[in-house]
């Protein structure tokens, strides 16, 4: 299908949905006339960072204008989207300084570009809370990646909401909910869930609340909210971006990464934050593998002659979702072949080793969260008047003492982690049985078929958000589940998701998975695919589309109960994919 026809069909679908919605008059008005994305006559939604830089160099646009636009848009849309926790008090002053620096000849790649980072990345002058009142008012100095972004000229204008503690606290939970930030709503259909703990960052990028955003991932929390919100997300190779100064789950899987409306902007951010950090040993391996400018790899002919594997089996629940999502995969295969790629179907990644992922994360989290708290959470919590918690046990005690702040969710995952011994020999052995086997599986599969990348669906259609603490946002909605994030997450390898299509107006993404330090190759392939398909359209802020995407499917609540009976971990194993 050519890109013009594809785009026309998407717009027609969105318009049809819009005409049938019901809800509050304010939300209907927002959907009927989404706020303009033009600044000084420039549509910033459709303009890349290099293009913005050129416009500012020609004095056609100023950073102050751009920053004012985003601050005004946050003020207008945040009551509906609930996605920005904190706005920088120095944003406009920083923009004025950037404009002056440009007049003085400064040409840094992110000079004057407003971005928003997830609220688990330490950012000087703004609290870093992981969404929890336990860290309210905690203001450590910049994380290494925040310093790098600022050094490249970026203006961090705010902090994005997230699933509290990166969705590693309760079972069940609601993706995008935190005690401080409340529930984030996805901008395409407002009662649908934005997915993953970096949900706020995904919504920021999709809804034009900043030029781009930074998210973090342990397993799925960059790629899933990127796919669900119709944007590009890069989960880098472990060690490409420093983890120091970022609230952790596990140093063995955690990484931050860029989330943006297009591959170009994601590439600019990716290079800006690389660098060897003395406080993160994993970054030492960057030598010869990292770049400060990844835009050099954006090649609109990268798919010509490439060999791409397709991973279908095991990434979604059959038969519930298969008939709905298979056409998206088929469209992707057609587009890849149209661009000259050889597609090898059935290259499925065996993830049996990931059965140990959750136990490994539990013991690693107990130690790693204590290290973060004891390093960065100094002083007194202004809400409680008590010192900040310094251990996982103290976080649990805080939640128990403040249910009015930290409800309605429980502390099941916290408690399971606290019951471990932390990072001991047993914990290391569990990890050794998880990551190396998955790395070997990916390496062998790519070598066997001489692959440049493997593609898989990123996400299913966004499920209706559920704030019932007895159910959670996935319980009763397993028919929406798609999960391909585990391969890159557990291996520590790179992947990148790009918009691939829409189901009833809900964005679907396709993920390109590669080996270690494969960012240059993946960016070229993703860029070529993006340019050839031009799938993305801006969100329309539709209030609801109902809950009947799968007519005739088995009762999802019964499916959920059956799945929980099959495993001792049940919901917890599913939730681990949605960080």
What are 472-489's pLDDT values in tens digits?
665 455 556 788 999 999
- Residue 15: pLDDT over 60: no
- Residue 326: pLDDT over 60: yes
Single out the residue of 206, 201, 209, 184 nearest to residue 235, CA to CA: 201
pLDDT bin (cut points 50, 70, 90) of residue 35 is: confident
**Catalytically annotated residue among 118, 147, 150, 235:** 118
State mean pLDDT over 135-141: 98
Mean pLDDT of the chain: 89
pLDDT bin (cut points 50, 70, 90) of residue 315 is: confident
355 CB-near residues (< 8 Å, 6+ apart): none
- Residue 440: pLDDT over 90: yes
Report the distance separating Cα 110 and Cα 50, nearest Å: 9
Task: Determine the Cα angle at 545 with ends 543 and 550, to 5°.
Answer: 155
| Total residues belonging to the chain | 579
pLDDT bin (cut points 50, 70, 90) of residue 248 is: very high
Pairing of strands 232-235, 307-310: unpaired
State mean pLDDT over 180-194: 96
What are 44-84's pLDDT values in tens digits?
999 999 999 999 999 999 999 999 999 999 999 999 999 99
Report the distance separating Cα 500 and Cα 506, nearest Å: 11
Report the distance separating Cα 266 and Cα 232, nearest Å: 7
> Which element (helix H / strand E) includes 42?
strand 42-43
Task: Determine the Cα angle at 334 with ends 331 and 340, to 5°.
Answer: 145
| Predicted pLDDT at 172 | 85
| Predicted pLDDT at 321 | 74
pLDDT bin (cut points 50, 70, 90) of residue 324 is: confident
Is 484 known to be catalytic?
Answer: no
Report the distance separating Cα 234 and Cα 222, nearest Å: 7
Single out the residue of 174, 248, 262 nearest to residue 218, CA to CA: 248
DSSP string, 378-421: -SB-TTTSSBPP-SHHHHHHHHHH-HHHH-S---HHHHHHHTS-
Among 184-193, 435-444, 549-558, the range scoring the smallest mean pLDDT is: 549-558
pLDDT bin (cut points 50, 70, 90) of residue 267 is: very high
Is 8 known to be catalytic?
Answer: no
Report the distance separating Cα 415 and Cα 411, nearest Å: 6
Report the distance separating Cα 342 and Cα 327, nearest Å: 19
Is 22 known to be catalytic?
Answer: no
User: Which two tokens mark 489?
Assistant: 């997450």
| Predicted pLDDT at 558 | 40
Q: Is the dihedral of CA 121, 144, 51, 521 positive or negative?
A: negative
**Catalytically annotated residue among 132, 178, 201, 221:** 221
**Catalytically annotated residue among 197, 198, 242, 485:** 197
| Predicted pLDDT at 468 | 65
State mean pLDDT over 564-569: 37
Each domain of the chain, given as residue ranges in start order, spans 3-357+431-575
> Which element (helix H / strand E) includes 491?
helix 486-491
Q: Which CATH code of 3.90.1300.10, 3.40.50.920, 3.40.190.10, 3.40.50.620 fits the domain covering 3-357+431-575?
A: 3.90.1300.10
């Amino acid at each position: 299908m050519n890109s013009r026809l594809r785009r026309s069909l998407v717009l027609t679908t969105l318009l049809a949905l819009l005409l049938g919605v019901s809800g509050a008059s304010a939300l209907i008005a927002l959907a009927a006339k989404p706020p303009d994305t033009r600044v000084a006559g420039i549509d910033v939604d459709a303009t890349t960072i290099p293009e913005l830089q050129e416009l500012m160099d020609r004095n056609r646009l100023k950073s102050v204008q751009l920053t004012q636009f985003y601050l005004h848009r946050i003020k207008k849309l945040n009551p509906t989207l609930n996605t920005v926790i904190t706005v920088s008090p120095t944003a406009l002053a920083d923009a004025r300084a950037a404009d002056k620096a440009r007049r003085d000849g400064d040409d840094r790649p992110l000079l004057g570009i407003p971005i928003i980072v997830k609220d688990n990345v330490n950012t000087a002058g703004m609290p870093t809370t992981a969404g929890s009142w336990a860290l309210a008012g905690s203001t450590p100095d910049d994380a290494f990646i925040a310093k790098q972004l600022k050094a490249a000229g970026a203006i961090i204008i705010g902090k994005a909401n997230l699933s509290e503690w990166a969705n590693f606290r309760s079972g069940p939970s609601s993706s995008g909910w935190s005690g401080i930030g409340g529930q984030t709503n996805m901008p395409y259909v407002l009662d649908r869930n934005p997915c993953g703990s970096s949900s706020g960052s995904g919504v920021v990028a999709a809804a034009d609340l900043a030029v781009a955003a930074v998210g973090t991932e342990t397993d799925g929390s960059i790629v899933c909210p990127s796919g669900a919100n119709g944007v590009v997300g890069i989960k880098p190779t472990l060690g490409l971006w420093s983890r120091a100064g970022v609230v952790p789950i596990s140093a063995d899987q955690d990484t931050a990464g860029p989330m943006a409306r297009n591959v170009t902007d994601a590439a600019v951010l990716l290079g800006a934050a690389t660098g060897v950090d003395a406080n993160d040993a994993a970054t030492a391996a960057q030598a010869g593998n990292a770049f400060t400018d990844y835009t050099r790899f954006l090649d609109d002919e990268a798919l010509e002659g490439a060999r791409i594997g397709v991973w279908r089996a095991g990434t979604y629940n059959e038969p519930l979702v298969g008939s709905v999502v298979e056409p998206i995969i088929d469209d992707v295969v057609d587009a890849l072949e149209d661009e000259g790629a050889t597609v090898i179907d059935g290259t499925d990644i065996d993830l049996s080793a990931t059965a140990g992922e959750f136990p490994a994360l539990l013991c690693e989290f107990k130690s790693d969260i204590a290290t973060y708290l004891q390093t960065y959470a100094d002083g007194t919590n202004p809400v409680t008047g008590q010192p900040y918690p310094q251990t996982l046990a103290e976080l649990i005690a805080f939640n128990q003492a403040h249910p009015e702040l930290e409800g309605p969710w429980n502390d099941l995952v916290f408690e399971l982690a606290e019951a471990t011994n932390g990072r001991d020999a047993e914990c290391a052995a569990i990890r050794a049985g998880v990551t190396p086997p998955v790395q070997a599986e990916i390496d062998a599969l790519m070598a066997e078929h001489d692959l440049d990348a493997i593609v898989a669906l990123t996400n299913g259609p966004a499920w209706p958000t559920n704030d019932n603490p007895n159910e959670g946002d996935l319980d009763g909605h397993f028919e929406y589940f798609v999960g391909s994030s585990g391969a890159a997450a557990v291996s520590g390898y790179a992947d990148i998701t790009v918009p691939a299509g829409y189901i009833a107006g809900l964005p679907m993404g396709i993920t390109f998975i590669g080996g270690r330090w494969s960012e240059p190759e993946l960016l070229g392939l993703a860029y070529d695919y993006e340019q050839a398909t031009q799938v993305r359209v801006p969100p329309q802020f539709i209030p609801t589309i109902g809950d009947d995407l799968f007519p005739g499917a088995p009762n999802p609540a019964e499916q959920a109960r059956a799945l929980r009976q099959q495993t001792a971990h049940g919901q917890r194993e599913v939730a681990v994919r949605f960080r």
